[in-house]
Amino acid sequence: MSVSRCRLLTYSNCDTIPVGGGYPSKGRSKAWSVVTMGSPFICEALLQETVNGKVRCLTCERRCLLSDRQVGWCRTRQNRSGTIYTLIYGLVSSLSCNPIEKKPLHHFYPGSAALTVGSLSCNFACPWCQNYRISKAKPDGGRYMSPQEFISTAIDLGCQGTSISFNEPTLSLEWALEVFPLARQVGLYNTFVSNGYMTLAALDLLVEAGLDGINVDVKGDAKAVHRHCQANVEAVWRNCRRARELGVWVELTTLVIPGVNDDEMCLGGIAHRIMAELGPETPWHVSRYHPAYQFTAPPTPAAALERARKIGQQMGLHFVYLGNVPGHPGENTFCPNCGATLVKRGVLRLHRNDVTPDGRCPHCGQEVAGKAWHWTG
Ligand code: SF4
C-alpha cells in the first residue's frame, strides 16, 4: 500500500488529555489547536493519502477519494482543504456495561464485563440493520467522552475490558487507538464488534495498540454482501485471517436472514471458509434476525438456526452457537471430543464454566481453544 501522507497522532487529539499518546508514532505530530477546528469531535484522520489533488481515506476498504469539502461514504470523514478529518472523535451515542457473552465472544474472558461504547453511522449499507437508530444516523450530536474518561468509567463500573461496538467501530479508529493502550495499562482487555472492513493498515494499528479480541460479522457470501451491504466480502475474510495471525482472538457471527443468506449453499460456504481459513476451533455464531430498518420479513425461525448450526458442525466446526434465542442449548459449549457440557450460558450470561484453568475439558483433557478461560482481577 502506498501512503504518501500517513499521519499518526503522537499527541493526544483532545484538549482534556495530557500530551503523550499511547501508541508508537511514525509520523509528525499535530497541535490540538489546529486539529480540533472548534469541536472536540473533529480531528485529523490518521490514514489518508493525497491523489491528484484529492485525498483518499485509508480507514476502511471503501477507500473514498474525496474532493475538498466532500464527505465520505460513511459521513464520518470529510476533506477540508486537502486534509481528511474525522467528525466523530470521542462521539458517544451509547454506553453500557455488557457481559462479554453479549458481543458475542464465548471463548474469551467468559463471565467478564466490558464497558461497551458506540458512536454514529456505518460504512455498510445493510438494510436489515439491527442497530439502525445509530448506524443510519447522521454523525452529529452525541456526548463527548475522552479516552481517559472512558477508561476511568470502566474501572468505576468494575469492568474487565472495553468493547467498541453498536455501530461500526472502525469509524472510531483514532479514538480506539488512544483507548486501547490506556486500557492495557490498567489491566483491561480490548475488543471490537465489527463488520471487519477496515484496511490492513488500520487493523495492524489496532492490534499494535492493544486489540485483544474481535467478533466479525460475516453477513453472507460474496453476492449477498455485495448486493445488500455494497461491500466486498473478501476484505472481511482477509482481515479475519490477519487478526488471527496477529494473535487476536477471533469469533464470527452470521445474522441468518430469511431469503438473504439462509440457504445451504451460502451457510455451507461460510462454514467451509471458516474451516479452511481460520480453523475448526473458531467459534461461529448463527444469530436470529428480527425485522428492523427496511426489512419486514418475520424473525428467523429457531429451526432455521438449528439447521445452520448443523451445517457448520457437519462441515467440521467445533463450536457453532445459536444467538438471540434465549435459553436454547445451542448457547452452551460442548467438548468437541467427548461431548460433555463445558460452559453453560443463558440469556447472554455465563452460568457455569467447567473448562480447566489450562483450557481443557475436565473429563477427557481435550484442549478447548480460547483466551483467559479463567481470568482473575
Ligand atoms: S472510513 Fe468512511 S470515509 Fe473513510 S474510506 Fe471508509 S467509508 Fe470512506
Dump pLDDT digits (tens) for 301-345: 999 999 999 999 999 999 999 999 999 999 999 999 999 999 999
For a pocket test of ligand 1, which of 6, 73, 136 has the largest count of ligand atoms closer than 8 A to its C-beta? Answer: 73
pLDDT reading at 166 higher than 90: yes
Helices (H) and strands (E) in the chain, counts: 9, 20
The SS3 of residue 341 is strand
Instruction: Indicate the pTM of the whole model.
Output: 0.91
Ligand 1 center–CA 76 separation, angstroms: 7
The response to whether residue 72 sits with its C-beta less than 6 Å from ligand 1 reads yes
In single-letter form, the type of residue at position 356 comes to T
pLDDT level of residue 36 (50, 70, 90 thresholds): low
Strand order in the sheet with 349-353: 333-334, 341-346, 349-353
Which of 52, 118, 32, 43 lies closest to 77, judged by CA? 43
What percent of the chain has a predicted confidence (pLDDT) above 70? 90
Mean pLDDT rounded to a whole number for the chain = 90
Q: What is the DSSP string of 180-205?
A: HHHHHHTT-EEEEEE---B-HHHHHH
CATH of 91-353, one of 3.30.70.270, 3.40.1010.20, 3.20.20.70, 3.40.1160.10: 3.20.20.70
Q: In terms of DSSP bridges, do strands 83-86 and 77-80 run parallel, antiparallel, or are they unpaired?
A: antiparallel
The response to whether residue 47 sits with its C-beta less than 6 Å from ligand 1 reads no
How distant is the alpha carbon of residue 7 from its chain centre? 23
The response to whether residue 64 sits with its C-beta less than 6 Å from ligand 1 reads yes
CA-nearest residue for atom 6, ligand 1, is 60
Dump pLDDT digits (tens) for 115-150: 999 999 999 999 999 999 999 999 987 899 999 999
For a pocket test of ligand 1, which of 47, 51, 59 has the largest count of ligand atoms closer than 8 A to its C-beta? Answer: 59
The response to whether residue 123 sits with its C-beta less than 6 Å from ligand 1 reads yes
Ligand 1 center–CA 77 separation, angstroms: 7
CA-nearest residue for atom 3, ligand 1, is 72
Average pLDDT over residues 1-18: 28
What pLDDT sits at residue 376?
Answer: 83
Dump pLDDT digits (tens) for 223-273: 999 999 999 999 999 999 999 999 999 999 999 999 999 999 999 999 999
- Domain ranges (residues) in the chain: 91-353
What pLDDT sits at residue 192?
Answer: 98
What pLDDT sits at residue 17?
Answer: 25
Q: What letter would DSSP give residue 46?
A: S
The response to whether residue 57 sits with its C-beta less than 6 Å from ligand 1 reads yes
What pLDDT sits at residue 141?
Answer: 79
Dump pLDDT digits (tens) for 194-217: 999 999 999 999 999 999 999 999
pLDDT reading at 32 higher than 90: no
For a pocket test of ligand 1, which of 57, 124, 138, 206 has the largest count of ligand atoms closer than 8 A to its C-beta? Answer: 57
pLDDT reading at 7 higher than 70: no
Ligand 1 center–CA 213 separation, angstroms: 23
CA-nearest residue for atom 5, ligand 1, is 63
The set of residues, in sequence order, having a beta carbon less than 8 Å from that of 288 and lying 6+ positions away, is 255, 256, 299, 300, 302, 305, 322, 323, 324, 325
What pLDDT sits at residue 37?
Answer: 63
| Ligand 1 atom closest to Cα of residue 58 | 5
Which of 37, 345, 222 lies closest to 355, judged by CA? 345
pLDDT reading at 2 higher than 60: no
What percent of the chain has a predicted confidence (pLDDT) above 90? 88
The SS3 of residue 162 is strand
The response to whether residue 175 sits with its C-beta less than 6 Å from ligand 1 reads no
Instruction: Write down the H helix ranges in 83-199.
Output: 132-135, 147-156, 173-185
Lowest mean pLDDT among 23-32, 94-103, 230-239, 343-352: 23-32
The response to whether residue 139 sits with its C-beta less than 6 Å from ligand 1 reads no
Average pLDDT over residues 361-370: 98
